[in-house]
Amino acid sequence: MVINVGPVDRIIRLLIGFAFLGAFTFAWVPRPWRAFSVALGFVESLVAVTGFSPLWMLLGISTRPQKQR
């Protein structure tokens, strides 16, 4: 597994993931969208923690600084 998510991107993804999980927790999301909110929050948080995005790997994208590759 190659790390292809840079440090700034990881922080942003973690914040987005927590926002979606928080929206589910505090019921800010209507009931039909709660499963989507949980799934998106979990995926974004997982990508932030691992630093690996399978979609970006398929597209050949990396946000890591050039000196860290």
* pLDDT tens-digit map of 36-59: 889 999 999 999 999 999 999 999
Q: In the chain, what percentage of residues exceed pLDDT 90? A: 64
Give me the pLDDT at residue 17, please.
95
Q: How far is CA 42 from CA 15, 22, 24, 26, in A?
A: 11, 11, 11, 16
Q: Are 37 and 29 in contact (CB under 8 A)?
A: yes
Q: Are 48 and 14 in contact (CB under 8 A)?
A: yes
Q: Are 9 and 63 in contact (CB under 8 A)?
A: yes
